[in-house]
Structure 1
Amino acid sequence: MAKKPSKKAKTQANFLSQNIGKIVLALIATGSFAIAFGNEKISKLIPLPSSHGACLEQFYRDVPPLLTKESLKKDSYALCFNDFNVMYSGVSKTPLWSAEYLTPERLSIKIKREDNFHEETRVQQAHRALLTDYRGSGYDRGHMAPNGDMNNTAAQYDSFSLANMVPQAPKNNQEVWRKLEEAVRAIVTKQHRDAYIVTGPVFEGKRLKTIGNGVIVPTAVYKAVYLPKQGISGAYYAPNNDSQQVRVVSICYLEEKLGVNLFPQLTEQQKRNIYQLPLSAAQVKASQDIKYMRWDAESQCAEEADTASIQAQQKQFASGQSQTAESKLPQIDEETKQALIKQLVDAMVQYFLQLLR
C-alpha cells in the first residue's frame, strides 16, 4: 500500500505550485546577478581581455615614440606593462616617456586606489630608481601613466613601478597635473573619444638637480595628446615647480625640446596644429568640440622616421610582451577564493529570498 504524503510534503508541494513563477524568475535573476557580481570581482583582480591589451596597441598605429637624440639611447629600457608602456632611462633613472591608449570602455571601469610603490626589477640594479631615493627628497613620486587610467589591479600595480615615476614638485603633481589627468579622462568619457597619450619629463639645462642616488629631477613635465578620429593634437607643458603654471603647446614644440619623435605616424602638418585642450575636467562639455587654436610655425619637428628605425623599436616592445610581469599579476590565494565564493553565495541567497517575499 502506497504511503500517504506527509503534511510537510504537502505544504512544500503547495508552496512550489503557488510560487513556481517566482522561483523561475528568481533563478533567472539570481543567475544574472551572479554573472554581474562575478564579472565585477574578476575585473578587479585580473586585466580584462581586450583588443587593445597587447603591448604595441598602446601606440598610435602600433608605432612607439622614437628617441632621435643618440644620448637618450644610452642605458635605455623598452618596458611593456599592463595597459601602458615605458621607455626608461638608466641615466636619469626615470621614464623618458610613458604611452597609453585610452578608450571610453577602458575608463568605464573604476577601481579603488591602492598604493604599491615598488622598484622595477627588470632594470639593472645600477640603473634602477630606488624607494630610498625619494625619501625626504621634497619631491613626490609622480606617475607618468596615471593610476587613475588603470581599470584592473594588475595595471594599477604596474603604474606604481618607479620606472613610471619622476620626482615631481608637490603642487605640480597634486594640483596642476592631477587636473590635467582628469581633463584628459573627461575628454575620453564625456565626449566618447579614443585618445593616444604620451607623458614624460623634460630635462633642460646643463646643471640638473638630482635626488637620492642620481635620480634626475625634471625641469618640466609634458603630456602629448592625439585624438585619431577627430585629428585633434596638442600637448600640455608644465614647469616642475610649485608655480602651478601650464601651457598648451604643439607636439613639435615638445619634440624639439626632448629629442623624441612622439608620434612617428603623424605628419609634420598635424604636429604643428595646436588645439585648445582643457585644463580641467570642468572645462570639458559633452556637446562642445575642442577648438582649434593656432599653427606652430617656429618649432623644429622631429625628422621623419625611417622604416628600419620603426621596426627596430617595435621589435623591442613586441619582445617585451613576454615580460609583461606575469609574476606581477595578482595571485589569488585559497583564502581569498573561499571568501569570494562565500560573498557570492550569500549575496545570491539574500537576493533569492527577497524575490520570494
Structure 2
Amino acid sequence: MGNFHPIPDKKCLQQFYKDTPPYLIKESLTKHTYPLCFNGFNVMYSGVAKTPLWVAESLTPQRLSKSAPREDNFHEELRIPSNHRSTISDYRGSGHIRWRVAPNADMSNEEAKSDSFSLANIIPVANLDVLTNLEYVIRGIVIRNKVDLYVVSGPIFSSRKLKTIGKGVIIPNAVFKAIYIPKTGTIGAYYIPNNDSSDVKIVSVCFLEELLNINLFPQLTEEQKRNTYNLPLSSKDLNLNKEIEYSYWDAESQCEISVSDKDIDMLQNRFRFE
C-alpha cells in the first residue's frame, strides 16, 4: 500500500491555473467525490466511476529537468473508503491497461513517482501507446519552448450504457488532455477514443466542457476557451522556439458556465490539508 505524503496548501493549489481547480457543474458528478492532493498533481476522484474525473498538473521546464528512480508500485488509495475505491484485482485479467493519468515521467522526485501509481490516478484504457506519445509531446512543448503549461486530463463517459471491469470500475468511451500555456495564450485539447485505434482529435476546451459538464479552467474566459491551437501530435511536430500556430475559433460548442468567487473559494478549501 502507498503512503500519503502531506502537501502544504499553497503547493497543492499551485497545480491549478491561478490556484483554481476544475469545477464540476453537473450536480450528479459531485456524488461520492474525493478531492486528493498528491505530490506533483491533484485528483478529483469519483467513488461512482471508481476513477478520477479529472487530474491536474502544472508542468515547468525546471520540474521536468529533474528525474528520480522509477519503482512500479500500483497501490490502493487508502484515503478513499473501501466501498468507493478501485483495487488491483479490478484490473487483473480485465483486458484493459492501467493508464496513469498524471504520468510517472512527469514526476521529479521519488515521492511523486510513488504517488503516480495510486489507483486514484488510474483509468482503464485500450491503447496506452497513443497516450504515452501525447505525454511525451506535451513534455516536449514545455522543454523545447521553455514555457510553463497547465494540463487537465481525464475520462469521457459519453454513452448511456457504460461497461465496467472488476467491481464497478467504469470504462470511459474516450479520454482527454486539455492544455493551457499562459505565456503565449496557447490553448486546446486532445480527444482520444478509448479503443485500439491511434485516432486523436484536436478540439477546443469548450468542446470538452460540453461533453464533461466540467469547467476545466474556471479562471479563463469563454472567449479564451473557444480559441483552438494546432497542438502537436508527434515529436516531428515540435518546433524549437516556435509558437504553436492558431487553428480555429469554436463558435458551436457550449462552454460551461462561469463559476462564482464563492464557489471557487469553497472548492479551493476542499483541497487544503492540515
TM-score, with length taken from structure 2: 0.96
Cα pair distance change 1:288/1:52, threshold 3 Å: farther
Select which of 145, 156, 173 maps to 1:219: 173
> How far apart, in 1, do the equivalents of 2:112 and 2:269 lie?
22
Q: Spell out, residue by residue over 1:116-135, the C-alpha distance to the aligned partner (whole angstroms, 9 max, x if none).
A: 10000000000010000000
Indicate if the aligned counterparts of 1:234 and 1:249 stay in contact, CA closer than 8 A. yes
| 1:121 lines up with 2:75 in the alignment | no
Q: Matched residue of 1:309: which SS?
A: helix
> How far apart, in 2, do the equivalents of 1:290 and 1:223 lie?
16
Alignment-derived partner of residue 133 in structure 1? 90
Structure 1 residue 111: Cα displacement: 2.5
> How far apart, in 1, do the equivalents of 2:251 and 2:220 lie?
16
Indicate if the aligned counterparts of 2:9 and 2:272 stay in contact, CA closer than 8 A. no
Q: Matched residue of 2:224: which SS?
A: helix
> How far apart, in 2, do the equivalents of 1:98 and 1:151 lie?
17
Indicate if the aligned counterparts of 2:51 and 2:169 stay in contact, CA closer than 8 A. yes
Q: Matched residue of 1:54: which SS?
A: helix
Structure 2 segments unaligned to the other structure (5+ residues): none
Indicate if the aligned counterparts of 1:52 and 1:58 stay in contact, CA closer than 8 A. no
| 1:86 lines up with 2:43 in the alignment | yes
> How far apart, in 2, do the equivalents of 1:232 and 1:176 lie?
22
> How far apart, in 2, do the equivalents of 1:188 and 1:281 lie?
13
Structure 1 residue 287: Cα displacement: 2.6
Alignment-derived partner of residue 5 in structure 1? none
Q: Matched residue of 2:14: which SS?
A: helix
Aligned CA-pair RMSD: 1.5
> How far apart, in 2, do the equivalents of 1:123 and 1:211 lie?
19
Select which of 240, 247, 267 maps to 1:313: 267
Q: Which residue identity is paired with 1:191?
A: N
Indicate if the aligned counterparts of 2:100 and 2:121 stay in contact, CA closer than 8 A. yes
Q: Spell out, residue by residue over 1:146-165, the C-alpha distance to the aligned partner (whole angstroms, 9 max, x if none).
A: 11100101000000000000
> How far apart, in 2, do the equivalents of 1:124 and 1:208 lie?
23
Q: Spell out, residue by residue over 1:241-284, the C-alpha distance to the aligned partner (whole angstroms, 9 max, x if none).
A: 00111001000000000010000000000000110111122321
Q: Alignment length, in residue pairs?
A: 269
Structure 1 residue 285: Cα displacement: 1.4
> How far apart, in 2, do the equivalents of 1:202 and 1:185 lie?
23
Indicate if the aligned counterparts of 2:75 and 2:119 stay in contact, CA closer than 8 A. yes
Runs of 4+ with >6 A deviation? none
| 1:290 lines up with 2:244 in the alignment | yes
Select which of 86, 107, 119 maps to 1:162: 119
Select which of 39, 53, 74 maps to 2:31: 74
Indicate if the aligned counterparts of 1:53 and 1:83 stay in contact, CA closer than 8 A. no
Larger radius of gyration: 1
After TM superposition, list the pairs within 5 Å mapping 1:57-68 onto structure 2: 57-68=14-25
Alignment-derived partner of residue 146 in structure 2? 192
Q: Spell out, residue by residue over 1:172-220, the C-alpha distance to the aligned partner (whole angstroms, 9 max, x if none).
A: 21x2111100000000001101000100000011110100000000100
> How far apart, in 1, do the equivalents of 2:110 and 2:211 lie?
35
> How far apart, in 1, do the equivalents of 2:69 and 2:188 lie?
30
> How far apart, in 2, do the equivalents of 1:299 and 1:285 lie?
30
Select which of 79, 95, 100 maps to 1:143: 100
> How far apart, in 2, do the equivalents of 1:143 and 1:72 lie?
21
Alignment-derived partner of residue 303 in structure 1? 257
Relative to its length, the structure with more strand (as a share) is 2
Q: Which residue identity is paired with 1:219?
A: N
Structure 1 residue 53: Cα displacement: 7.0
> How far apart, in 1, do the equivalents of 2:241 and 2:271 lie?
37
Alignment-derived partner of residue 98 in structure 1? 55
Structure 1 segments unaligned to the other structure (5+ residues): 1-46, 323-357
Indicate if the aligned counterparts of 2:210 and 2:254 stay in contact, CA closer than 8 A. yes
Structure 1 residue 88: Cα displacement: 0.1
Q: Which residue identity is paired with 1:280?
A: S
Alignment-derived partner of residue 133 in structure 2? 179
Q: Which residue identity is paired with 1:255?
A: E
Alignment-derived partner of residue 66 in structure 2? 109
